[in-house]
Chains A and B, each alone.
Chain A
Amino acid sequence: SQKIEQNSEALNIQEGKTATLTCNYTNYSPAYLQWYRQDPGRGPVFLLLIRENEKEKRKERLKVTFDTTLKQSLFHITASQPADSATYLCALNLYGNKLVFGAGTILRVKS
């Protein structure tokens, strides 16, 4: 069956460090992969999209990698801040515009 795995345990890091979140998938061949941020009680907010032929994408302090051989995406936040604390969701595009989401990883950045 198709499956997306994100770390179920929260990631706790110190302010200023780089946070790295992992998204693994099986039995998919996604054309794109997206990352979203979700704060408690709110809807997800889009962060980055990376295509299957792109190895890396950057936006300000954010970086996403996409390894279709390993079936893995890594999401990095450099110089992390307490305001980066949230749940981060990865999502894979299937055909058309249908997204399949992972359960998300909670990130806590402590000052």
Chain B
Amino acid sequence: NAGVTQTPKFQVLKTGQSMTLQCAQDMNHEYMSWYRQDPGMGLRLIHYSVGAGITDQGEVPNGYNVSRSTTEDFPLRLLSAAPSQTSVYFCASSPGQGAYEQYFGPGTRLTVT
């Protein structure tokens, strides 16, 4: 199993550009989520999904869109990039609802200039 994969690993965008961060998992997990990690602030939840076709907002959803058309994939779209979105983005999945561990991907380092 590849686990949770993310692409790209690094990305530089100009203010106002849009892009999609890809996330895929091959563990048949129902739950997937996106976090951003900034220095001194820990991981913050952007959006999450409890299954295909179902998504919801986390703590910091503004400026981001998600969709979940399949169990495997959970892309994160930046609609109009801003310097405040410079961060490291992590995708995670977990087997089910409740007390389950999260499996994290390797992260995407995004810089918006």
The answer to whether A and B assemble together is yes
Q: Which residues of A contact B (CB under 8 A)?
A: 4, 8, 31-32, 34, 36, 41-46, 49, 51, 89, 91, 93, 96-104
Contact B40 A8 (CB under 8 A): yes
Is B52 interfacial (CB-CB < 8 Å)? no
Q: Of A32, A36, A44, A100, which is within 8 A of B99 by CB?
A: A32
List residues of chain B with CB within 8 A of the CB of A99: 43, 45, 102
Known contacts A43-B107, A44-B43, A97-B31; A51/B99 CB under 8 A = yes
Residue of A nearest to B96 (CB): A97
Given the complex, which residues of A lie within 8 Å of B41, measured CB to CB?
103
Q: Is the CB of B104 within 8 A of A43?
A: yes
User: B9: nearest residue on chain A (CB-CB)?
Assistant: A41
Chain B residues, CB < 8 A from A4: 42
How many chain B residues touch A (CB < 8 A): the figure is: 29
Report how far A36 CA is from B43 CA in the complex, Å.
Answer: 12
Cβ–Cβ contact B42 & A104, under 8 A: yes
Partner of B104 from the list A8, A45, A51, A103 (CB cut-off 8 Å) is A45
B56 to chain A, nearest CB (A): 9
Tell me if A97 and B98 are in contact (CB < 8 A): yes
Asked if B90 contacts A43 (CB within 8 A), the reply is: yes
A24 to chain B, nearest CB (A): 14
B103 contacts the other chain (CB 8 A):
yes
B58 x A98 contact (CB < 8 A): yes
Interface assignment of B61: CB less than 8 Å from any CB of chain A: no
Chain A residues with CB under 8 Å of B58's CB are 98
| B97→A46 contact, CB < 8 A | no
